[in-house]
Amino acid sequence: MTTTALRARRTLMLASGVALAALALAGCSSSDAAAPTSSSGGGSSELAKAVAAAEALPTSYPIPTDPIPGVSALAGKTIYYIPITQQAPQFAVTGAALKKALATVDISVQTCDGKGTPTDIGACIGQAQGAGAAGIVLDAVPYELAANGIDAARAAGIPVIVSDQGPTDDKYPADATLAYLPAPAPATDTALLQWIAQDSGGKANILINQDADGPWPAAYMKTALAQLKKDCPDCKTTINKVSSANFPQVAPSTSAALLADPSIDYVFTDFAQFLQPTQGGIQSAGVADTVKVVSGAAVLGTYQAVKSGQLAAAAGQAASFQGWQSADIILRLITKTKVGEYAIPTRLFSPTNIGSVSLTAAAEASGEWFGPTTFPDDFAKLWSAE
């Protein structure tokens, strides 16, 4: 992805996030029938090409080219990895890759569960500061959700990465102590909705279980829904807001939404952490045989469910590669080396291509589902410069 394209995407996500910040509160539902803006429909050649492109295996990973001098002097230091909640299986993959990456330069990683609340996230950041961490990697934690803690850590000289979120450069500009690794969720959300549009022949009625942990998931979905209106003018969507903090409500709210509209034929959960209770809600509503389920933020178990037919489709990001990217960024911040633009690759899986990949933990860790497996060596070369 070009720098220009990345900046355009960052600008779009930022504008959407500001407009939708008020939607961050969980527990509400709304219905949104997509208004037609084009006549492409579910069977268009453009839509078919978009779905095929989303399902294709990328031929390369975006690796920086500038080496990082002075990494060997960091041996023995500790980095804190703070995911917004360890309920999400994707973070386990990224966290493990981050540990493996930094272990190659004798840096340890301490993981602290943000538990989906500002209090716990702030406590994790405070713990990192108290322990004298060399850096902090936040995963899916909006800056706004932990601004005081992040500000304090940066003031103490501890650099911070805000990853898997929309950049808020207007209010919290990236600098020598702060870097962003933008989330690829707009791409995965869009790919899944395009798959539904094609699969339904342009007539889907979709229940979307949308994460309300901060403003950005709503912004990502807004981008995807705008594309859906072009691809599928006759598709209908209903948004059911779910959150980590109100996890027990996912199943009953899903069931209630399905019972309120028996014509719903697709259920979309944007993060795999909500997949199990979503399926519980589908069972409770008695519609397991009449709806197709898709999921974003997919990991090994999600893809295995696609293979077995339990899920219709799933999309995810290169979570293992993301761990190595995060290691590269934090090393650049600590050594005061220039941080460039980064992007996390994504891919859509459906019955069309799921048989082409090895669904094992080793394959997931290698990153082979999203590109060549040479990236650990590529990063190691950058980190060995003196």
Backbone angles phi, psi at 266, to 5 degrees: -135, 140
When mean pLDDT is compared across 26-30, 40-44, 65-69, the lowest value belongs to: 26-30
Cα 163 to Cα 157, 160, 210: the distances in Å are 19, 9, 19
Interval 359-382 mean pLDDT: 97
Backbone angles phi, psi at 193, to 5 degrees: -65, -35
| Contact of 324 with 379, CB cutoff 8 Å | yes
126: pLDDT confidence band, cut at 50, 70 and 90? very high
22: pLDDT confidence band, cut at 50, 70 and 90? very low
Q: Quick one: which of 142, 148, 116, 380 has its CA closest to 247?
A: 116
| pLDDT score for 41 | 53
> What's the rounded Cα separation, in Å, for the pair 126 and 319?
26
End-to-end alpha carbon distance in the chain: 29
| pLDDT score for 27 | 32
Q: Is the pLDDT of residue 123 over 50?
A: yes
What is the full DSSP assignment across 230-272?
HH-TT-EEEEEEE-STTGGGHHHHHHHHHHH-TT--EEEESSG
- Which two tokens mark 364? 């997931």
When mean pLDDT is compared across 3-17, 86-100, 196-210, 228-242, the lowest value belongs to: 3-17
What is the full DSSP assignment across 85-143?
-TTSHHHHHHHHHHHHHHHTTT-EEEE---TTSHHHHHHHHHHHHHTT-SEEEEES--G
What the chain holds in terms of domains, given with CATH numbers, is 71-182+318-344+368-384 (3.40.50.2300), 185-317 (3.40.50.2300)
Q: Is the pLDDT of residue 39 over 50?
A: no
Q: Is the pLDDT of residue 338 over 90?
A: yes
35: pLDDT confidence band, cut at 50, 70 and 90? very low
Largest CA distance in the chain: 64
CB-side neighbour CA atoms (13 Å) of 166: 31
- Which two tokens mark 369? 């589902």
Q: Is the pLDDT of residue 10 over 70?
A: no
Interval 122-151 mean pLDDT: 97
| pLDDT score for 42 | 54
When mean pLDDT is compared across 42-46, 246-250, 315-319, the lowest value belongs to: 42-46
Prediction pTM value: 0.86
Interval 78-104 mean pLDDT: 96
CB-side neighbour CA atoms (13 Å) of 21: 10
